[in-house]
Amino acid sequence: MITVLLDNDITGHRELFIGTLKSTRWDEHSLLEFITLPEAGLARNTIDREIWWHCQTHGYLLLTGNRNQEDADSLEQTMQEENTPDSLPVITISHPQRVIEADYRERCIHSLVDIIIFLNQYLGTGRQYIPQ
């Protein structure tokens, strides 16, 4: 089972994601679980660089809507500086405002599951946008 850490910008959609896992029956395969920053032992105001390192260290996939490169510790800057061929990808929802749409959310879940099933093919790729 892969743990998917929900970044602050999408944590509020956790129940929607869980419901979509159930409605698509992917929950029956026990492929993933969603956790929040506090459940991962991180404060809500943890900087992106620390979140990225925490995910890499604990084997979590980070699911986010974050794309900024606003400072030296931004997620994008961190990936550019720290990514290696063995790094887990960061999964970014292309249009996070559309997560409330059932069809869009289902496409996101199918893409996320695909990444998890074929995770070795995604190592070192940096950012992966979903849905694909």
Q: Give pLDDT tens digits for 46-100.
A: 999 999 999 999 999 999 997 677 788 899 999 999 999 999 999 999 999 999 9
Q: What is the pLDDT of residue 43?
A: 96
Q: Is the pLDDT of residue 132 over 90?
A: no
Long-range (24+ apart) CB contacts under 8 A made by 25-28 are: 26/109, 26/113
Residue 121: the pLDDT is 98
Least confident of 23-27, 34-38, 73-77, 88-92: 73-77
Q: Domain 2-130, what fold?
A: Rossmann fold (3.40.50)
Residue with tokens 């929900």: 6
Contact 36, 67 (CB under 8 A): no
